[in-house]
């Protein structure tokens, strides 16, 4: 690696931050059951403590996404003072995630529900979440909806689209300057006939309709098999509508596997499209990177450190793509040379430069080893184990 390449990697690592999810540290499971971990977090303070360990050992995770109802069951009353708690563990509160899919009233949807009273309840909850964001100093409101239907003819699709549009416009009005609504999409589950926001185009239209602070959020697990996600990223960048990511990996659908465990080259290609756009436009893209996963079998903090470390490596590799050469090859339709531009960057071993970056910032050169040696999991298991074995709530 040349000195200039090394500088590019160090500069890239300096500006790369990725948010971790509070729910990634809690006991979760599948629809078939869950396997409890003694060290899993139950309270918001425990989750922030665990998140602080990830940031301490990786140096690039200063914020924690929170899920209202799971983290703040009493709303803003529970959010008071949480910023100070987070700061005590070396992190801050990041994106606010409303929950409009868990309560019984959402059986037939939230903003898409035919019952106006349910639509109002969903909107009121999301407005309360905006108030929580004001109390915690958070910028982004991250929206995912389970709304949809399972049977043809059972719901009026166009009416539901209109209700969503109206609700998001009303929610947008509650934002302060500088805040953003991130609209997520998902093709199926739990709705298997139609989902109200099923793809990036629907999310784009609704985010634009909501107002100037609306953006699209891309979850890597929320796509059909073989879909070209980096093309979606490129289009959203071109439209100035890419707001954020939920990073995970998958083999089938929304598996939420450890980042980079299945298809690391996909994430490299996504990072490349982002950095290529930045090179073309001579400015940084304003994108919120976040991990969205919770492991049922792996140790939760270890799995999160794994994901963060892979993200750093792949972002560093993307920083090595020679954009000027690539642009020339593309213009000349020199297909092999253009492809080799990406392959050479991807094949470069960046671990030495990452170790240098970590050492220069007082971060462990080998984060996973350092965390294991810290004894944190053993202490947490001793403090939390009895409660977890007693069957504590999945998310509370």
Percent of the chain residues topping a pLDDT of 70: 98
Q: Is residue 330 in some structural domain? A: no
Q: Mean pLDDT throughout 215-226?
A: 97
Q: 61 is written with which tokens? A: 């995770």
Q: Cα dihedral angle (199, 201, 203, 208), rounded to 10 degrees? A: 180
**Beta-carbon contacts of residue 167 (< 8 Å; ≥ 6 apart):** 111, 119, 122, 123
184 pLDDT above the threshold of 70 = yes
In a domain, 326, yes or no: no
pLDDT of residue 394: 46
Mean pLDDT on 54-82: 95
User: Would 46 be classed as within a structural domain?
Assistant: yes
Is pTM, for the whole model, over 0.85?
Answer: yes
Radius of gyration over every alpha carbon of the chain, rounded to an integer in angstroms: 21
Would you state the pLDDT for residue 29?
83
Q: Which range (44-53, 60-69, 387-396) has the least confidence?
A: 387-396
| Spatial distance between the Cα atoms of 365 and 181, rounded to a whole number of angstroms | 36
31 within domain boundaries: yes
Residue 335 domain-assigned (yes or no): no
State which residues form the domain around 289: 16-321
pLDDT of residue 31: 77
Residue 246 forms beta bridges with which residues?
Answer: 219, 290
User: Nearest-CA neighbor of 376 among 365, 387, 368?
Assistant: 368
> Which whole number is the average pLDDT over 15-22?
98
| CATH at 234 | 3.20.20.150
Question: What is the spatial distance between Cα 59 and Cα 10, in angstroms, rounded to a whole number?
Answer: 13
Whether 369 maps to a domain, the answer reads no
For residues 227-242, one letter each, b for 16 or more C-beta atoms within 10 angstroms of the residue's C-beta and e for the rest, the string is eebbebbbbbbeeebb
Return d(Cα 245, Cα 289) in angstroms, integer.
5
Four-residue CA torsion sign, 238, 281, 245, 268: positive
Instruction: State residue 107's pLDDT score.
Output: 97
Q: Could you tell me which of 131, 157, 118 has the C-alpha nearest to residue 75?
A: 131
Band of pLDDT at residue 389, cut at 50, 70 and 90: confident
Q: Between the CA of residue 335 and those of 1, 126, 226, 279, 345, what are the distances in Å?
A: 24, 48, 22, 20, 16
Answer yes or no: is pLDDT of 395 > 70: no
Looking at residue 166, its pLDDT comes to: 98
- Residue predicted with more confidence, 182 or 33: 182
Backbone angles phi, psi at 385, to 5 degrees: -55, -50
Distances (CA, A) of 241 to 32, 211, 234, 290, 330: 37, 12, 10, 17, 25
Half-sphere exposure of 148 (CA within 13 A, CB side): 20
- Give the burial class of 335: count Cβ atoms within 10 A of its Cβ; 0-12 exposed, 13-18 middle, 19 or more buried: exposed
Mind listing the pLDDT tens digit for each residue in 306-326?
999 999 999 999 999 999 999
Does some domain include residue 394?
no
pLDDT score at 390: 86
Measure the CA–CA gap between 246 and 203, rounded to whole angstroms. Answer: 15
Q: What is the mean pLDDT of residues 36-44?
A: 96
Q: Give residue 391's pLDDT band: very low, low, confident or very high (50, 70, 90).
A: low
Res 32: pLDDT: 84
Tens digit of each residue's pLDDT (9 = 90 or more) over 85-129: 999 999 999 999 999 999 999 999 999 999 999 999 999 999 999
The pLDDT assigned to 33 comes to: 83
Between CA 332 and CA 221 the distance in angstroms is: 35
Total number of domains in the chain: 1
Query: Average model confidence (pLDDT) for the chain?
Result: 96
């Amino acid at each position: 690696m040349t000195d200039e390449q090394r500088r590019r990697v160090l500069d890239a690592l300096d500006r790369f931050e990725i948010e971790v999810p509070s729910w990634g540290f809690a006991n979760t499971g599948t629809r078939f059951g869950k396997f409890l971990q003694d060290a899993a977090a139950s309270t918001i303070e425990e989750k922030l403590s665990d998140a602080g360990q990830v940031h301490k050992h990786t140096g690039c995770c200063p914020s924690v996404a929170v899920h209202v109802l799971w983290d703040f069951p009493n709303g803003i009353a529970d959010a008071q003072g949480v910023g100070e708690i987070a700061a005590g563990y070396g992190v801050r509160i990041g994106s606010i995630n409303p929950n409009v899919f868990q309560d019984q009233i959402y059986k037939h949807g939230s903003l898409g529900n035919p019952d106006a009273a349910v639509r109002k309840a969903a909107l009121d909850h999301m407005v309360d979440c905006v108030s929580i964001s004001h109390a915690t100093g958070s910028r982004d409101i991250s929206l995912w909806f389970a709304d949809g239907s399972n049977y043809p003819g059972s719901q009026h699709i166009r009416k539901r689209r209109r209700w969503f549009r109206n609700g998001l416009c009303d929610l947008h009005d509650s934002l302060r300057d500088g805040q953003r609504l991130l609209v997520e999409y998902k093709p199926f589950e739990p709705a298997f006939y139609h989902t109200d926001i099923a793809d990036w185009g629907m999310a784009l239209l609704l985010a634009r309709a909501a107002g100037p602070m609306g953006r699209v959020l891309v979850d890597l697990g929320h796509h059909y098999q073989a879909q070209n996600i980096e093309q979606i990223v490129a289009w959203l960048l071109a439209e100035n509508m890419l707001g954020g990511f939920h990073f995970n990996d998958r083999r089938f659908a929304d598996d939420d596997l450890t980042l980079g465990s299945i298809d690391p080259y996909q994430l490299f290609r996504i990072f490349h499209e982002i950095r290529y756009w930045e090179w073309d436009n001579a400015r940084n893209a304003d994108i919120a990177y976040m991990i969205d996963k919770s492991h049922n079998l792996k140790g939760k903090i270890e799995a999160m450190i794994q994901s963060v470390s892979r993200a750093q490596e792949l972002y560093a590799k993307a920083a090595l793509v020679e954009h000027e050469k690539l642009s020339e090859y593309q213009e000349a339709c020199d297909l092999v040379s253009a492809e080799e531009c990406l392959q050479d960057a991807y094949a470069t071993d960046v671990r030495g430069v990452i170790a240098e970056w970590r050492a220069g910032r007082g971060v462990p050169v080998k984060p996973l080893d350092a965390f294991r040696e810290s004894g944190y999991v053993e202490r947490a298991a001793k403090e939390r184990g009895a409660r977890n074995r007693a069957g504590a709530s999945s998310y509370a």
